[in-house]
Amino acid sequence: MKILVTVKRVEDYEVKIKVKPDGSGIVTDQMKYVVNPFDEIAVEEALRVRDAAGSGEVVVTTIGVADAQQQLRTALAMGADRGVHVLADGNVDPMMAAKAFKKVIEAEKPDLVILGKQAIDDDQGQVGAMLAELLGWGQGTFASKEDSLESDAEKSKQPALKIANGRCEVVREVDGGLETLSLAMPCIVTTELRLNLPRYASLPGIMKAKKKPLQEMKLAELVPGAEARVKVVKLEPPKERKAGIKVPDVATLFDKLHNEAKVI
């Protein structure tokens, strides 16, 4: 079983992002970068699938600046086997990313590709389905599971994806409930938050990760001539809400809602 997982370097989700005064970008001084949380879940699932199968390889790949190697190393420290770094500067839009991943996949020939359902920086949520289309593969987006993250099933660290007879069964979170698809492999899966609780990298894991193989290539060589067609014209802070008031008790709250805001 060979599984390929995509990993994106993103700003730490606990940091409040601020826009530069000229709107050309965000303030990145002293920024902390992390693995996109959905991708950590993707790595975790891949490790569980590999380990449940008893053998196999988890290859992690990223598209990004030289420093994105840190995020690949984090995934390797979690337990992935090998990294592929597609070096790219500047704006990489989802279609460019999908085209580059397609090239990596054609070279690696994995049985399963797992991506996060969205990256928490641009929040586009497109790459998984685009990649499935470019490859002509089936897609199971928003993969989740019926058991909660506090269940015994989660504590047993079994994979949520059910793989048998060349097919992968995926439980998807959709509006109004859950849906199950059976996909012919190879296939694309994108992760929802409730697929699993990702492990932390252990200290020995971090030491080992330093020696794991990491291949580099350039985006411009992988997809010559590709350019971003989602052009960011400007960034601005969202409209702030004006500060409200604290009310002392339920009676006042009800009065305000009934007579002032007139919403109940």
Partner 1 sequence: MSNVLIIVEQAGGKPKKATLAGITFGQQVAQKSGGQVHFLIIGPGASAAASEVAGYGAAKTYVVEGAAFENYLVEACTPAVVTAAKACNASIVAGAATSTTKDLLPRVAARLDAAMASDVTAVVDAKTFKRPMWAGNVTATVELTSNIKVCSVRVAEFDAPAKGGATTATEKLDIAVDAGAMKAKFVGRKEVKSTRPDATTADIVVSGGRGVKSAEGFKIVEQLADSLGAGIGASRAICDAGWVPNDLQIGQTGKIVAPNLYIALGISGAIQHLAGMKSSKTIVAINKDPEAPIFTVADYGLVGDITVEVPQLIEKIKQSR
Ligand X SMILES: Cc1cc2nc3c(=O)[nH]c(=O)nc-3n(C[C@H](O)[C@H](O)[C@H](O)COP(=O)(O)OP(=O)(O)OC[C@H]3O[C@@H](n4cnc5c(N)ncnc54)[C@H](O)[C@@H]3O)c2cc1C
First to last CA, the chain: 57
Contact of residue 137 among partner 1, ligand X, none (CB under 5-8 Å per partner type): partner 1
Quote the CA–CA distance of 115 and 59 in Å, as a whole number.
Answer: 12
Span of 40-48, 53-61, 74-82, 244-252 interacting with partner 1 by CB under 8 A: 244-252
How many residues touch partner 1 under the rule CB under 8 A: the total is: 89
Contact of residue 19 among partner 1, ligand X, none (CB under 5-8 Å per partner type): partner 1
Q: Are 38 and 62 in contact, with CB atoms under 8 Å apart?
A: no
- Taking each helix axis from N to C end, the angle separating 94-108 and 127-135, rounded to the nearest 10 degrees, works out to 50
Site for partner 1, residues 117 to 146, rule: CB under 8 A:
117-118, 120-134, 136-142, 144, 146
Q: Which residue, 199 or 218, has its beta carbon nearer to ligand X?
A: 199
- Taking each helix axis from N to C end, the angle separating 69-78 and 37-53, rounded to the nearest 10 degrees, works out to 40
- Nearest distance, CB of residue 148 and partner 1, angstroms: 2
Contact of residue 20 among ligand X, partner 1, none (CB under 5-8 Å per partner type): none
Strands (E), 18-79: 33-35, 57-64
Near partner 1 by CB under 8 A: residue from 90, 204, 225, 237: 237
Quote the CA–CA distance of 217 and 215 in Å, as a whole number.
Answer: 7
What residue type is 171 in one-letter code? V
Please report whether residue 157 would count as binding partner 1 according to CB under 8 A: no
- Nearest distance, CB of residue 145 and ligand X, angstroms: 17
Site for partner 1, residues 61 to 120, rule: CB under 8 A:
93-95, 98, 117-118, 120
Span of 70-78, 106-114, 169-177, 206-214 interacting with partner 1 by CB under 8 A: 169-177
Distances 147 to 152, 154, 180 between C-alpha atoms, Å = 8, 7, 14
Q: Are 171 and 178 in contact, with CB atoms under 8 Å apart?
A: yes
- Nearest distance, CB of residue 36 and ligand X, angstroms: 8
Residues that bind ligand X (CB under 6 A): 13, 37, 120
Contact of residue 107 among ligand X, partner 1, none (CB under 5-8 Å per partner type): none
What residue type is 217 in one-letter code? M
Residue with tokens 């007579």: 259
8-state DSSP, 223: S
